[in-house]
Amino acid sequence: MATKHRKIKIGVFDSGVGGLSIANYIEKHLPNVDVRFVNDTKNVPYGDKPIDLVYSFVLPIIKKLEKDGCQVIVLACNTVTTNLIDDLRKVIKVPLVGLEPMVKSAAQQTQSKIVAICATPATLASKRYVWLVDSFAKDVSILEPDCSNWSRMIESSEINHKFIKKQIKEVCDAGADVIVLGCTHYHWIEEEIKIAAEGRALVLQPEQSVARRLTTVIDGLKIS
């Protein structure tokens, strides 16, 4: 087991402050890990930018984490994972653990068969997201509220609380009983979203599942 080895160096990358919630969760819940969090404050947010441009931002940062000795790298960004993880795996030798919208879990837990996916435009437009919906939520109605400004608001600490509350109320009024947070930026307003949902919807985000996946990957590393 990885817990018997020396500390494992884990890289956690996101465009902005969102991935810090993932880094903090990993550091708190996984023993014997040394977490290095890196973000791209110069180019955040990614969700409204061309994917080729995002790739040019991400690749040198991930290569630097690998060069600095990170034995596993977490892509704590749904936009990067859903659009670029396959391309990155072709050039990065260490394991990459990604985040993507929890469509499967939402489809399994909804009673109303209506789910709201809160994500960036780039994530919603990705082939991976389309595959997730086609594979796991064919019998579920998917609502996609306009969250295009959420990351920017959170990054700048200028959150329009009334606007977010209105959007959450609208999807709940439309019957959604599960709300998926498909961007790590949104983790910072998770409690606000839960309050706005007024107990009518379960709010899902992937911190626990990412930690479980990371544990499996670490346990598979051959490190003495």
Catalytic residue among 70, 118, 172, 183: 183
Distance CA 18, CA 128 (A): 21
Cβ atoms 192, 118 nearer than 8 A: no
Using CA atoms, how far apart are residues 106 and 95, in angstroms rounded to an integer?
26
Q: Is 183 a catalytic residue?
A: yes
Number of alpha carbons in the 13 Å side-chain half-sphere of residue 210 = 30
Specify burial of residue 168 (Cβ count, 10 A radius: 0-12, 13-18, 19+): buried
Find residue 203's DSSP bridge partners: 179
Q: Which of 70, 77, 118, 172 is catalytic?
A: 77
Catalogue the active-site residues. 77, 183
